[in-house]
Structure 1
Amino acid sequence: MKRRELLKGAAVAAFASALPQARAAALDELRLDYAYYSPLSLVLRRFGWLEDALKADGTKVKWVFSAGSNRALEYLSGNSIDLGSSAGLAALLSKANGNPIRTVYVGSRPEWTGLLVAKDSPIRTVAELRGKKVAATKGTDPYLFLLRTLREFKVPKSEVEIVHLQHPDGRAALEQGKVDAWAGLDPHMAASELDAGSRFLYRNVGYNTYNFLSAREAFLAEHPQVVAKVITAYEKARAWTLANLSDAAKILAEEAKVSVPVALLQVKLRTDFSNPLPSAEHVNALRAAAPILREEALVKPGTDLDKTVAALIDTGFAKSVIGGKAA
Structure 2
Amino acid sequence: MKQRKEKWDVKWVVGLILLVSLVLTACGNGNSASNSKGSNSSNSNTSETKVETPSSASPSETRDITIRIGYQKYGTINILKADGSLDKRLADERNIKIEWTEFPGGPQLLEALNVGSIDIGHTGEAPPIFAQAAGAPLVYLAHEPASPKSEGIIVPKDSPIQSVADLKGKTIVLNKGSNVHYLLVKQLEKHGVSYKDVTVKYLPPADGRAAFEKGSADAWVIWDPFLAAAETATGGRVLADGEGVVSNHEFYLATREFAEKYPDLVNILLEEADKIDAWSKEHPQELAEKLSPQLGIDVESLVLAAERRNYGVQSIDAELIKAQQAIADTFLDLELIPKKLDINDAILK
For the aligned pair, the TM-score class normalised by the smaller chain equals 0.7 to 0.9
- CA distance in structure 1 between the partners assigned to 2:184 and 2:213 by the alignment: 18
CA apart distance, 1:210: 0.5
For structure 1, which segment, 248-257 or 132-141, has the greater mean C-alpha deviation from structure 2 after superposition? Answer: 248-257
What does residue 74 of structure 2 align with? 37
- Say which SS state the counterpart of residue 207 (structure 1) adopts: coil
Q: Secondary structure at the match of 2:94?
A: coil
Q: Which runs of structure 2 are paired with 1:240-319 in the superposition (5 Å)?
A: 240-268=279-307, 270-301=308-339, 303=340, 305=341, 308-314=342-348
Q: Pick from 83, 93, 113: which aligns with 1:76?
A: 113
Tell me, in whole angstroms, the C-alpha distance in 1 between the residues paired with 2:277 and 2:115.
28
TM-score, with length taken from structure 2:
0.77
Q: Greater CA radius of gyration, 1 or 2?
A: 2
| Structure 2 residue 84 is matched with structure 1 residue 48 | yes
Identity %: 27
Are 2:223 and 1:185 aligned?
yes
1:3 is aligned to none
Instruction: Give 1:101's aligned residue.
Output: 138
Q: Is the 8 A contact 2:72 2:106 kept in 1?
A: no
* Residue equivalent to 1:153: 191
Tell me the amino acid that sits aligned with residue 312 of structure 1. Answer: A
**5+ residue gaps, structure 1:** 1-18, 317-327
DSSP 3-state at the match of 2:169: coil
Q: 1:230 to 1:160 in 2, by over 3 A?
A: same
Matches of 2:82 and 2:271, distance apart in 1: 16
With structure 1 as the length reference, what TM-score do the two structures score? 0.82
Kindly provide the amino acid, as one letter, of the partner of residue 134 in structure 2.
N
Residue 143 of structure 1 and its aligned partner are, at CA, apart by 1.7
The structural deviation recorded for 1:112 is 2.3
CA deviations over 1:106-145 (Å, ceiling 9, x no partner): 1443232111111111112323223221101101011221
Residue 226 of structure 1 and its aligned partner are, at CA, apart by: 1.6
The CA deviation at 1:293 is 1.2
For 2:122, the equivalent position in structure 1 comes to 85
Local SS of the residue matching 1:273: coil
| 1:199 Cα deviation from its structure 2 partner | 0.7
Runs of 4+ in 1 over 6 A off after TM superposition: none
Structure 2 contact 274–313 (Cα < 8 Å) conserved: no
Amino acid at match of 2:111: E
Aligned partners of 1:109 and 1:290: how far apart in 2? Answer: 18
Aligned length: 291
- Does the alignment pair 1:236 with 2:270? no
| Contact 1:88 1:210 (C-alpha < 8 Å) held by counterparts | yes
Cα RMSD of the aligned pairs, angstroms, is: 2.1
Does residue 21 (structure 1) correspond to residue 55 (structure 2)? The answer is yes
1:202-241 to structure 2, matched below 5 A, reads: 202-205=240-243, 206-241=245-280
Measured in 2, the distance between the counterparts of 1:197 and 1:277 equals: 38
Query: Is residue 69–residue 119 contact of structure 2 (8 Å, CA) maintained in 1?
Result: yes
Match of 2:172 among 134, 152, 159: 134
| Inter-partner Cα distance in structure 1 for 2:69 and 2:172 | 31
AA aligned to 1:54 is: L
Instruction: Provide the secondary structure at the position in 2 that maps to 1:290.
Output: helix
Higher relative contact order (CA 8 A, sep 6+): 1
Match of 1:195 in 2: 233
Q: Using the TM superposition, name which of 250-259 and 220-229 deviates more.
A: 250-259
Name the CA distance, whole Å, in 2 between partners of 1:208 and 1:166.
Answer: 22
Mark the runs of 5 or more structure 2 residues left unpaired by the alignment.
Answer: 1-52
Query: 1: CA distance between counterparts of 2:338 and 2:203?
Result: 24
For 1:69 and 1:134, locate their aligned partners in 2 and report how far apart those are by CA, in whole Å: 19
Distance 2:239 2:280 in 1: 31
Give secondary structure in 2 for the equivalent of 1:105: strand
Rounded to whole Å, the distance in 1 between the matches of 2:165 and 2:87 is: 50
Q: 5 Å matches for 1:164-175?
A: 164-175=202-213
Mapped partners of 1:214, 1:192: distance in 2: 28
Task: Quote the residue 1:62 is aligned against.
Answer: 99
Q: Structure 1, residues 138-176: CA drift from partner, whole Å, max 9, x if none?
A: 010112211222233332333322111111221221122
Q: How far apart are residue 240 of structure 1 and its match?
A: 2.2
SS in 2 for 1:146: helix
Q: 8 Å contact 1:142–1:183 — kept in the other structure?
A: yes
